[in-house]
């Protein structure tokens, strides 16, 4: 086990032992602190808060220091004891702490005692009561409480006799108090002379004494079991009923000798293991009266350390009369030491103990044995199979060394087969160019490039190209294949830019057929991953015809026109149509008046001779454009006629009816006479129909839109 790490802070307390004082005096404590560490530190020195009385008596119960490495200083704690302080033994803890710089080595605690003695009464009156202790104890000669044999933690009871004298002229009652000790520590018995006077009552709770009589108080100290070893100095006080303010005090010095017994035993939880680790329970029992601080470990009893030992926890603090247990695990180190068959492998070990205070330890330490069971049969079978496999591998290695077979010839593989210069289009007369690479081409008789259409049918005008891969020099010389194709050092046949000569728009598929040199009947086809497409020429779309204008008598694109008809007195308005159409391959037509190909033209018609309503339609069409909606367009003009001659005045006396001229049977009305197109397909004016003039009517002007 490793030696404990020395503390970087060293304390020197002066005086080192218990201090004594009396009420009304001052007691000084000097503490020297030395920083032996490698860094500067801020150190707090203080009286623990559990000692309330001493912290009130001290002006500075907490002090702080700043020390550099290898620097020391001294601090002073002055206890100013008030005059009314009660004589007793005051225990306190002196603490030195450096949490910021030495958190692992602090706090450091020192148990201290301040014994407050009663004041010496020099002015005792002759009538004051007195008492005396027997036997008389001093710090050098205390009462020793010896242990009881066969009873762990018990000490023998020690009696103390106290003789009390009542020197007054009155009956008095005396009572003993020991406030420093718990009531379980002692027993009090009052023994005095019998009181026979009238009105006197005997009591077991106090000592009743007549004037000038003496009595005895028996005080027996019997500390409880497992009382901590050490020195005790309780204060004995005799209280008088007549003079309660009278201080009758004395100190009794007791010593409980230290008993350093320690019982250790080990229980086996798991002592036979195969794959897990052994488990043991180390049980500790403290039958003594001192606190034990132990460090537990284990070590092998054999020559070689074959196991790893782990204690949980590794350190314990055991109070008197208490017990605890520590779990010890033992794990074998080397897996190859486990026996294959037969007897188990045994590991002998023992428990090692170390007391932090150097107290005596048991001479006999617990010992244990870990039994490591042999391996199961299936693991032995695996070992045999492993050995056989090793022998087989060794034999195969020898076979490879002395009878090394020829390495297999790798087969030819097409690694690259793709078109170059995509996309192809008939607009720039581009031809399909390929590149391909075949590894280990020296194993081939020939390579054939086959082209087919989208339906996998051979192309009629494209022959298969054959590449004799085994004689590239002769093939290049004879012009079998173009430049840029041949074998390289790695026996790979490659063509970087092979022109196929195919330029016609369409979709084409290519296949490389590899013929084995050793077996001419073995042909391996390798198809290109995707088909190659040559796009057709792009044809500019034909725009539909567009009528720029369609006018009547100079009015462009009117929807409705009103014209005067020809009468005996009016020449009538002429009908002149004009148009202009934009487009290529356009046919212009006015239904009823024929067709022509002129994009710009005109048509003159004679004046109307009767009142009618007629519509002229201009149609422009292009039959090369698919779709009637896109190829036809038209424009219409509606003509309404009127008679500009006012009707004649009729006398009011008579009315002469007018009858329309007789028409021939079967004749059509003038307004329904058909318009005949002229020969030649051109648009010409239709002749006016010869009919009798209509009667003169009052013209009615149409409403202009």
DSSP string computed for 195-261: --STT----SSSEEE-TTEEEEEEEEE-PPTTPPPEEE-PEEEEEESS-TT---EEE--EEE-----
Give 478 or 109, the one with higher predicted confidence.
Answer: 109
Among 549, 607, 606, 616, residue whose Cα is nearest residue 578: 549
The arithmetic mean of pLDDT across residues 541-562, rounded, is 81
Average predicted confidence (pLDDT) for the chain: 81
Domains 9-116 and 413-535 share a fold: yes
Residue 20: band (very low, low, confident or very high) from pLDDT cuts 50, 70, 90: confident
Q: Which fold has domain 540-645+681-705?
A: Immunoglobulin-like (2.60.40)
Q: Which residues, including other chains, have CB under 8 Å from residue 451's CB and lie 6 or more apart?
A: 458, 459, 462, 464, 500, 502, 508, 509, 510
pLDDT at 538: 77
> What is the residue extent of each domain of the chain?
9-116, 130-256, 269-372, 413-535, 540-645+681-705
- What does the longest C-alpha to C-alpha distance in the chain come to? 192
Interatomic CA distance for residues 136 and 465, integer angstroms: 135
Query: Distances from the Cα of 549 to the Cαs of 457, 546, 580, 582, 600, in angstroms?
Result: 56, 9, 6, 10, 10
pLDDT > 50? residue 126: yes
Contacts of 160 (CB under 8 A, 6+ apart): 133, 134, 135, 143, 218, 219, 220, 221, 252
Question: Exposed, middle or buried, 79 (CB in 10 Å: 0-12/13-18/19+)?
Answer: buried
Architecture of domain 413-535: Sandwich (2.60)
Q: In this predicted structure, what is the pLDDT of residue 93?
A: 92
Ranges of beta strands (E only) in 630-705 are: 632-642
pLDDT of residue 45: 94
Q: Tell me, what's the pLDDT at 550?
A: 83
Q: How confident is the model at residue 661 (pLDDT cuts 50, 70, 90)?
A: very low
Q: Residues near 253 by Cβ (< 8 Å), separated by ≥ 6? A: 137, 138, 139, 141, 142, 143, 231, 232, 233
Q: Are 259 and 223 in contact (CB under 8 A)?
A: no
Q: What is residue 703's three-state secondary structure? A: coil
The DSSP symbol for 291 reads -
* Per-residue confidence (pLDDT) for residue 653, from 0 to 100: 47
Tracing tokens 């196991």 back to the chain, one arrives at: 307
68-91 mean pLDDT:
89
Interior/surface letters 32-43, b for 16+ CB within 10 angstroms, e for the rest: ebbbebeeebeb
The CATH number of 269-372, from 2.60.120.560, 2.60.40.10, 2.60.120.10, 2.40.110.10, is 2.60.40.10
Instruction: Quick: pLDDT tens for 295-336.
Output: 999 999 888 888 999 999 999 999 998 999 999 999 998 888
Question: Does 395 score more than 80 pLDDT?
Answer: yes
Q: With bands split at pLDDT 50, 70 and 90, how would you rate the model's confidence at 390?
A: very high
The pLDDT, as a whole number, for residue 679 is: 36
pTM, two decimals, is 0.43
Domain 130-256, CATH class in plain words:
mainly beta
What value, to the nearest 5°, has the Cα angle with vertex 228 and ends 150 and 89? 140
269 phi/psi in degrees, rounded to 5: -95, -40
CB contact at 8 A, 338 and 323: no
9-116 under CATH 3.30.70.100, yes or no = no
Element (DSSP H or E) covering residue 331 = strand 323-332
What are the φ and ψ backbone dihedral angles of 476, each rounded to 5 degrees?
-70, -40
Q: What pLDDT was estimated at residue 5?
A: 66
pLDDT value at position 475? 60
Residue 338 pLDDT exceeds 90: no
| Percent of the chain predicted with pLDDT > 90 | 20
Q: What is the pLDDT of residues 668-693, one digit of tens each?
A: 444 444 444 433 344 544 443 333 44
Taking the alpha carbons at both ends of the chain, their separation in whole angstroms is 124
Q: What's the rounded mean pLDDT across residues 114-132? A: 73
pLDDT at 168 over 90: no
The secondary structure element, H or E, covering residue 384 is helix 377-402
Q: What is the arithmetic mean of pLDDT over 383-396?
A: 89
pLDDT tens, position by position, 439-497:
888 888 888 888 888 888 888 777 777 877 666 556 655 556 666 787 777 888 888 88
What is the structure's pLDDT at 617?
Answer: 86
Q: What is the model's pLDDT at position 216?
A: 92
Strand 130-134 and strand 9-14: the pairing is unpaired
Highest mean pLDDT out of 60-64, 232-236, 419-423, 671-675:
60-64
Rounded to whole angstroms, the Cα distance separating 416 from 512 reads 11
pLDDT at 680: 36
Taking 90 as the threshold, does the pLDDT of residue 580 lie above it?
A: no
| Lowest mean pLDDT segment, chosen from 502-511, 579-588, 616-625 | 616-625
Q: How far is CA 101 from the centre of its chain?
A: 36
Interior angle at CA 506, CA 505 and CA 511, nearest 5: 125
- Given this model, what pLDDT does residue 75 score? 93
């Amino acid at each position: 086990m490793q030696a404990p790490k020395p503390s970087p802070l060293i304390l020197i307390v002066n005086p080192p032992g218990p201090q004594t004082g009396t009420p009304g005096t001052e007691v000084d404590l000097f503490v020297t602190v030395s920083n032996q560490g490698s860094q500067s530190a801020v150190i707090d020195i203080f009286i623990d808060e559990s000692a309330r009385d001493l912290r009130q008596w001290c002006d500075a119960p907490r002090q702080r220091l700043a020390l550099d490495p290898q620097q020391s200083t001294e601090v002073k704690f002055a206890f100013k004891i008030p005059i009314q302080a009660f004589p007793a033994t005051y225990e306190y803890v002196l603490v030195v702490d450096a949490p910021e710089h030495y958190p692992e080595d602090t706090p450091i605690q020192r148990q201290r005692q301040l014994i407050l003695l009663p004041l010496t009464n020099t002015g005792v009156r002759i009538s004051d009561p007195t008492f005396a202790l027997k036997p008389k104890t001093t710090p050098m000669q205390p009462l020793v409480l010896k242990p009881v044999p066969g009873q762990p933690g018990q000490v023998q009871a020690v009696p103390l006799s106290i003789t009390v004298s009542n020197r007054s002229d009155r009956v008095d009652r005396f009572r003993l108090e020991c406030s420093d000790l718990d009531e379980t520590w002692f027993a009090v018995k009052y023994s005095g002379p019998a009181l026979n006077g009238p009105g006197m009552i005997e009591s077991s709770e106090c000592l009743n004494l007549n004037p000038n009589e003496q009595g005895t108080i028996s005080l027996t100290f019997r500390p409880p079991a497992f009382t901590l070893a050490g020195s005790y100095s309780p204060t004995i006080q005799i209280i008088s009923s007549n003079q309660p303010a009278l201080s009758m005090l004395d100190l009794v010095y007791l010593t409980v000798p230290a008993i350093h017994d320690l019982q250790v035993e080990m229980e086996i939880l798991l002592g036979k293991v195969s794959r897990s680790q052994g488990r043991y329970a180390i049980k500790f029992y403290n039958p003594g009266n001192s606190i034990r601080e132990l460090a537990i470990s284990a070590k092998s009893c054999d020559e070689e350390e074959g196991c790893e030992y782990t204690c949980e926890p590794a350190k314990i603090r055991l109070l008197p009369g208490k017990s605890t247990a520590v779990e010890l695990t033992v794990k074998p180190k080397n897996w190859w030491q486990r026996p294959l068959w037969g007897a188990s492998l045994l590991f002998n070990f023992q428990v090692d103990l170390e007391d932090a205070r150097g107290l005596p330890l048991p001479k006999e330490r617990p010992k244990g044995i870990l039994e490591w069971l042999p391996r199961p049969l299936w693991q032995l079978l695996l070992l045999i199979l492993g050995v056989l496999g090793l022998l087989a591998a060794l034999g195969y290695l020898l076979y490879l060394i002395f009878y090394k077979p020829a390495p297999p010839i790798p087969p030819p593989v097409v690694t690259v087969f793709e078109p170059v210069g995509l996309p192809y289009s008939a607009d720039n007369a581009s031809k399909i160019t390929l590149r391909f690479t075949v590894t280990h081409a020296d194993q081939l008789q020939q390579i054939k490039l086959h082209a087919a259409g989208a339906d996998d049918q051979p192309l009629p005008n494209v022959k298969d190209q054959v590449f004799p891969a085994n004689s590239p020099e002769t093939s290049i010389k004879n012009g079998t294949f173009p430049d840029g194709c041949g074998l390289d050092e790695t026996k790979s046949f490659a063509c970087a830019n092979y022109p196929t000569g195919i330029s016609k728009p369409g979709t084409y598929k290519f296949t490389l057929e590899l013929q084995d040199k050793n077996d001419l009947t073995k042909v391996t086809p390798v198809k290109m991953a995707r088909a190659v497409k040559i796009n057709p020429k792009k044809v500019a779309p034909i725009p539909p015809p567009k009528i720029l204008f369609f006018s009547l008598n100079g009015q462009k694109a009117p929807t409705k026109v009103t014209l005067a008809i020809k009468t005996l007195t009016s020449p009538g308005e002429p009908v002149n149509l004009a148009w202009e159409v934009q487009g290529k391959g356009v046919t212009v037509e006015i239904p009823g008046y024929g067709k022509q190909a002129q994009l710009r033209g005109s048509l003159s018609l004679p004046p109307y001779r009767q009142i009618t309503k007629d519509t002229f339609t201009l149609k422009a069409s292009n039959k090369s454009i698919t779709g009637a909606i896109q190829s036809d367009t038209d424009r219409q003009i509606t003509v309404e006629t009127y008679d500009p001659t006012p009707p004649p005045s009729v006398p009011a006396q008579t009315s002469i009816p007018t009858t329309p001229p007789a028409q021939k049977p079967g004749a059509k009305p003038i307004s329904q006479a058909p318009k005949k197109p002229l020969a030649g397909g051109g648009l010409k004016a239709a002749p006016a129909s010869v009919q009798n003039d209509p009667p003169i009517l009052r013209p009615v002007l149409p409403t202009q839109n």
